[in-house]
Amino acid sequence: MSESLRAVSLLFLERDDQILLAMKKRGFGAGRWNGVGGKPEPGEDIRTTAVRETQEEIGVTPIDFTEVGELHFYFPEEKKDWNQLVRVFMCSKWEGEPTESEEMAPEWYEKSHLPYDEMWADDEMWLPEVLAGNYVEATFYFEENENMVKRHTLTSRPLA
């Protein structure tokens, strides 16, 4: 577990009682609803990554966003390059309208009716904590078929 994890951003737009999810159309996580994000370009900090990825994936520029979580994901040895440290952000102010791209198809959902059965298995464990206004830290382990095998830790605390 001491190997370095790939840095990744994950950002969710929120308005009133809704959150924007996007259906991943290709690549890692294809066929699942999630926030938008990805890995940094060389020399790019994770907040800048969150902005750039949101622009690329749904055509929106985040203006006011807050870090709300740190998630550690571990995959089997043959997929260890998928291991990642995800910084999660919630965004309440942005420019532009969410628009479908070649990679993502955005859709608004009521926070109380999220499609957890079409999301990563871990989302149902940590996302409700974030939506309740908490900062989460968690570690999850997955099998080669991308099924979650265990949650190692999950802690949450109110956002300051």
Q: What is the pLDDT of residues 32-86, one digit of tens each?
A: 999 999 999 999 999 999 999 999 999 999 999 999 999 999 887 777 778 899 9
Residues 6+ apart with CB under 8 A from 40: 7, 9, 46, 48, 49
Distance CA(152)–CA(160), nearest Å, equals: 25
Residue scoring higher pLDDT (159 or 117): 117
Q: Is the pLDDT of residue 1 over 60?
A: no
Distance CA(64)–CA(83), nearest Å, equals: 28
Partners of 14 in beta bridges = 19
Distance CA(11)–CA(21), nearest Å, equals: 9
